[in-house]
């Protein structure tokens, strides 16, 4: 409860570029909700991969490339138009990542290797699927918790009002079952 009232819950689901700016969350970055890796070179470490991330307005493809106002630069990537020179087809993943579209005609083994490295570094397909489910249905869990609390409170009131009757009914029912 303290974290909800004094913290920022959205920071748990926000991706950050190399400079630590929250894509879609920090001031000036509200219109850039997705994270994108320009100039992909295959690496097995997410630390190396994350050095080249930028926040973008949309996931670029070979037909819709990034313009100068379509991304936010950082200390590693200084120009969006030259940073996206590789122009691979990307697709949106978990409403946050622009990952290579491995089914695209422009896809190569480098992009497939990069895609697999990102999936492995983010916990593989199972963990990301679980996190995606939590991200999508967080409100259902909150509603269920509130309903459980309310039903528990109603049950306690019922026990307070009808406790004697419930005890005698249970004793009588126990005798009937034993016969």
pLDDT of residue 27: 85
pLDDT of residue 34: 87
Q: Residue 98: CB partners within 8 Å, gap ≥ 6?
A: 34, 35, 36, 37, 56, 59, 60, 90, 91, 92
pLDDT of residue 1: 60
| Positions of the chain with pLDDT lower than 50, given as ranges | none
Going 164 to 168 to 169 to 170, the CA torsion angle's sign is positive
Q: What is the pLDDT of residue 174?
A: 92
> Are the CB atoms for 91 and 59 separated by under 8 Å?
yes
Contact 80/73 with Cβ under 8 angstroms? yes
pLDDT at 154: 92
Are 83 and 55 in contact by the 8 Å Cβ rule? The answer is no
21: tokens are 């700016």
Q: What is the pLDDT of residue 172?
A: 93
Specify which residues 22 forms β-bridges with: 16
Which pLDDT score is estimated for 127?
Answer: 59
- The helix (H) or strand (E) run that includes residue 92 is strand 90-93
Angle between helical axes of 109-121 and 124-136 (0-180°, round to 10): 60
Structure tokens at 68: 């100068």
pLDDT the model gives residue 146 = 95
What does the pLDDT read at residue 60?
80
């Amino acid at each position: 409860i303290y974290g909800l009232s004094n913290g920022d819950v959205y920071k748990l689901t926000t991706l950050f570029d190399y400079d630590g700016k929250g894509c879609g969350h920090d001031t000036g970055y509200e219109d850039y909700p997705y994270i994108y890796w320009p100039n992909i070179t295959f690496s097995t470490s997410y630390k190396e991969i994350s050095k080249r991330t930028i926040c973008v307005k949309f996931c670029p493809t070979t037909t819709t490339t990034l313009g100068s106002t379509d991304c936010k630069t950082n200390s590693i990537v200084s120009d969006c138009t030259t940073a996206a020179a590789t122009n691979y087809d990307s697709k949106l993943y978990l409403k946050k990542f622009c990952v290579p579209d491995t089914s695209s005609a422009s896809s190569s083994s480098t992009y497939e290797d990069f895609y697999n490295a990102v999936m492995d570094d983010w916990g593989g397909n199972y963990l990301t699927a679980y996190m995606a489910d939590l991200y999508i249905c967080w409100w259902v869990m909150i509603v269920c918790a509130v309903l459980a609390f309310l039903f528990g409170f109603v049950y306690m009131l019922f026990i307070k009002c009808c406790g004697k009757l419930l005890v005698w009914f249970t004793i009588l029912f126990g005798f009937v079952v034993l016969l």
